[in-house]
């Protein structure tokens, strides 16, 4: 099993195997906290090795990125969707302050809230902010999460099943000599080759939600790159090729 995954992923692979074997042998239902897209892939891969074990993912929002998993034996009772994800709306003085995804997440981090308790954070219509959280921690959030920076907030439970997660981008172009990972990262960050090498080697770059330290890995249109301190970018399309053979690539930086 481990040979299919990177070394740094083995701790989570071990955890996933433990979850699945618990369900397989004890026929209980295991509900995880929120998982990243990569963790969902790993868990699904592990579950596929056990014919009597099923896994379903739910993040509350339509098209959610971060999701909880329900792992169950085919003979076991299935926990319902409404039991595991609670939607909360952040009430704040929108006329006087503009809160973004990073503000919400930063304040939760300052409270030492485990990231796995929080699903997607979505801003809708420029003012409305919704958060998916683990249902069993809803009371904790409502009691303790009452400020974002200097601003007072109130949390109310609200259905989020009808809210669709939509990626909003800040569009730009980069010109690349090739689609190698290090070349793409350099094009995005405008950093030197040495600085980019250090970024990749230090584990600061993810390709499609997976840590990638192979500098020569070939990227393709549609790939998503996350670069620590720089944000998340999607390679949207190839606009053209220059006379010298360089590639003009349209990219989008994810914004709240």
pLDDT tens sequence across 145-161:
999 999 999 999 999 99
Q: What is the mean pLDDT of the chain?
A: 93
Last residue of a domain, one of 114, 137, 157: 157
Q: Is residue 226 part of a domain?
A: yes
pLDDT value at 84 more than 70: yes
Task: Report the 3 state secondary structure along 153-195.
Answer: CEEEECCCCCCECCCEEEEEEEEECCCEHHHHHHHHHCCCHHH
Last residue of a domain, one of 50, 83, 116: 83
The HSE-up count of residue 161 (CA atoms within 13 Å, CB side) is 8
Q: Which domain holds residue 207?
A: 168-255
Indicate if 251 and 180 belong to the same structural domain.
yes
pLDDT value at 81 more than 70: no
Last residue of a domain, one of 113, 130, 157: 157
How much is the average pLDDT of 194-214?
A: 95
Tell me if 118 sits within 8 A of 151, measured CB to CB: no
Q: Which residues pair with 129 in a beta bridge?
A: 90, 123
Task: Name the domain count of the chain.
Answer: 3
pTM of structure: 0.83
- At 92 the pLDDT is 95
Q: What does the angle CA 113 – CA 17 – CA 53 come to, to the nearest 5 degrees? A: 105
- At 161 the pLDDT is 94
Indicate if 49 and 118 belong to the same structural domain.
no
pLDDT value at 79 more than 80: no
pLDDT value at 2 more than 60: yes
Spatial strand order of the sheet with 205-207 comes to 168-176, 247-255, 231-241, 224-227, 205-207, 210-211
CATH number at residue 61: 3.30.1370.160
Q: Encoding tokens for residue 132?
A: 């998916």
């Amino acid at each position: 099993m481990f040979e299919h995954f990177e070394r740094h992923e083995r701790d989570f692979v071990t955890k996933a195997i433990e979850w699945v074997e618990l369900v397989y042998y004890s026929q209980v239902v295991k509900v995880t906290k929120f998982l990243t897209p990569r963790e969902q892939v790993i868990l699904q891969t592990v579950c596929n090795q056990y014919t009597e074990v099923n896994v379903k993912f739910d993040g509350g929002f339509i098209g959610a990125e971060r999701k909880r998993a329900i792992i169950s034996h085919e003979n076991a009772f299935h926990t319902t969707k409404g039991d595991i994800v609670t939607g909360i709306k952040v009430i704040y003085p929108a006329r006087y302050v503009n809160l973004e995804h990073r503000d919400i997440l930063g304040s939760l981090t300052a409270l030492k809230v485990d990231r796995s308790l929080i699903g997607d954070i979505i801003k809708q219509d420029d003012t409305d902010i919704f958060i998916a959280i683990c249902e069993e921690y809803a009371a904790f959030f409502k009691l303790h999460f009452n400020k974002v920076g200097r601003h007072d907030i109130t949390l109310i439970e609200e259905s989020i099943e009808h809210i669709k997660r939509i990626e909003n981008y800040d569009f730009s172009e980069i010109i690349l000599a090739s689609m190698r990972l290090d070349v793409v990262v350099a094009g995005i960050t405008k950093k030197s080759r040495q600085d980019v090498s250090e970024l990749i080697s230090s584990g600061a770059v993810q390709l499609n939600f997976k840590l990638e330290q192979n500098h020569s890995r070939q990227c393709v249109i549609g790939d998503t790159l996350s670069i620590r301190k720089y944000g998340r970018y999607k390679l949207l399309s190839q606009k053209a090729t220059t006379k010298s053979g360089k590639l003009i690539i349209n990219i989008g930086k994810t914004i709240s």
